[in-house]
A and B are shown apart, each in its own frame.
Chain A
Amino acid sequence: MIRDRPLVLVLPALAGLAFLVVPLLGLLVRAPWAELPARLFSAEVGNALRLSLVCASLATALCLVLGVPLAWLLARGDVPGRGLLRALVTVPLVLPPVVGGVALLLVLGRRGLVGQHLEAWFGVSLPFTTAGVVVAEAFVAMPFLVIAVEGALRAADPRYEEAAATLGASRWLTFRRVTLPSVAPGVVAGAVLCWARALGEFGATITFAGNFPGETTTMPLAVYLALETDPDAAIVLSLVLLLVSVGVLAGLRDRWVGGAG
């Protein structure tokens, strides 16, 4: 046994495991269990949780509508400079979210490049609104969906699409009836990842959408704010987010966690 698993690998592996798990245990240990039910059903937690779930779901819907076609374009579109396009799409993935928030503010803010026209022509202003939260979350989360769907598309056998085309199906019909069903698991996995990322979004949201209870204060913002005045409330909010995250992981277990086991 030991010879199979050299200590020089096992020790760092155990340290790595502890590093990832112990902070989460810390949350459980420090949680105010006695007053948990009362706090869990307080208006503050309820508002933040409802807002978080609604915004993350809307952001995911937006990402699906825009991201799946984008993934298709990257995988199948035969566009020039595809490598560059793919790199651009993944920028929000590596960009610090706060920077994304600043960028959104400068473009979609009231005096932003695009925002000033939105305001002038349609009377629409995104910062400090729930719609602004959705936009910030979608900006940060969409690359997760695009990459997952694009990977699935590239792994899918293009001959089915070619067969559909030779049988006279239009590209749109082929996309709907052949391509999309064949990559459905990839789309679902991408959407779940995207949703989880949107749910946890903090930096871009607080920068672009500000902070107002019931309007823009999502769970991660509430955790951060509560930590300054009421650490117990922060722990309760964190536990709820942890529970939701574990739920998402359980939903994905066939794909990632349980796969080899």
Chain B
Amino acid sequence: MLAPVLAAALVGACSSAPDGTTVTVYAAASLTEVFTGLGADFQAANPGARVSFNFGGSSALAQQIGQGAPADVFASASPATMEQVAAEVDRPVTFARNRLEIAVPGGNPAGVTGLADFGRAEARIALCAERVPCGAAAGEVFRAAGITPRPDTLEQDVKAVLTKVRLGEVDAALVYRTDVRAAGGEVEGIGFAEAERAVNDYPIAPLKRASPRGRQFVDFVVSQAGRAALTAAGFDVP
């Protein structure tokens, strides 16, 4: 007797009802703060609309969308990860750009000064895994600088890297400039020239099966209000 009720409850809880009022946005981890704010603004501007987010490594999100995850909108941190789901989405547009920065714990206990410190054996280093956009960008940066990094861990998304810096578990990491800013005083950022060589384009696209609300959210992100929020968070806006 209980089983059908339970099953119905589970199905109800797990699927986002395609009633056109809830927009499910899959977004790169580096967009966590700015998109959370934009989601609230969108809901305020569109009474009755609800935005729910799934933030994570772009490659993991792309894989989930490829497997049929119920997303309306995908915002990734690189064109390559958007390309993975090309069959699922409508005309991606670049809505932001981001660049890497060295992140060190507050007070910079290991005295990190630049990219060269990433090759030191005794320094604790966290990087994004190569297949996540921040890891791909880091790879380009190190190739451009001619440095072989010696990471101690390769994390699944940029926020996981940032957490290791925040906790002081690593001496240095490469994250986006916007992440350093979002972390406030706990993390110090150090800029470097090679960051220019690996600027990430962030594409956003509605999924082909997205509700009209989903397309509306994409329009909102590329609108004047969206651009202002992205700029305030430290993104470059095209």
Verify that A and B bind, or say they do not: yes
Instruction: Give the chain B neighbours of A209 by CB distance below 8 A.
Output: 153
Q: Is B168 an interface residue (CB 8 A)?
A: yes
Instruction: Give the chain A neighbours of B62 by CB distance below 8 A.
Output: 228
Main DSSP-derived SS at the A contact region: loop
Q: Do B129 and A225 have beta carbons less than 8 Å apart? A: yes
Q: Is A60 an interface residue (CB 8 A)?
A: no
Q: Is A244 an interface residue (CB 8 A)?
A: no
Q: Do A128 and B169 have beta carbons less than 8 Å apart? A: yes
Instruction: Give the chain B neighbours of A256 by CB distance below 8 A.
Output: none
Q: Do B3 and A12 have beta carbons less than 8 Å apart? A: yes
Q: Do A111 and B154 have beta carbons less than 8 Å apart? A: no
Centre residue among B60, B155, B164, B169 by max chain A CB count within 10 A = B169
Q: Do A229 and B59 have beta carbons less than 8 Å apart? A: yes
Q: Do B169 and A127 have beta carbons less than 8 Å apart? A: yes
- CB-CB contacts of A195-238 with B at 8 A, as 1s and 0s? 00000000000100111110110000000010111000000000
Contact of B169 among A105, A213, A215, A225 (CB under 8 A): A105
- CB-CB contacts of A168-204 with B at 8 A, as 1s and 0s? 0000000000000000000000000000000000000
Given contacts A211-B129, A225-B129, contact A111 B153 (CB under 8 A): no
- Interface size for B (C-beta < 8 A) is 21
Cβ < 8 Å to A, chain B residues 121-144: 124, 126, 129, 131
Q: How far is the CA of A32 from the CA of B170 in the complex (A)?
A: 39
Q: Is B63 an interface residue (CB 8 A)?
A: yes
Instruction: State the Cβ distance, A19 to closest chain B Cβ, in Å.
Output: 12
Instruction: State the Cβ distance, A51 to closest chain B Cβ, in Å.
Output: 14
Q: Do B167 and A105 have beta carbons less than 8 Å apart? A: yes
Name B's A-contacting residues (CB within 8 A). Answer: 3, 57, 59-60, 62-63, 124, 126, 129, 131, 151-156, 164, 167-170
Sample (25) of A-B pairs whose CB atoms are under 8 Å apart: A12-B3, A105-B167, A109-B168, A109-B169, A110-B167, A110-B169, A111-B168, A111-B169, A125-B124, A128-B124, A128-B170, A210-B126, A210-B152, A210-B153, A210-B155, A211-B129, A211-B155, A212-B151, A212-B152, A212-B153, A215-B152, A225-B129, A227-B63, A228-B60, A228-B62
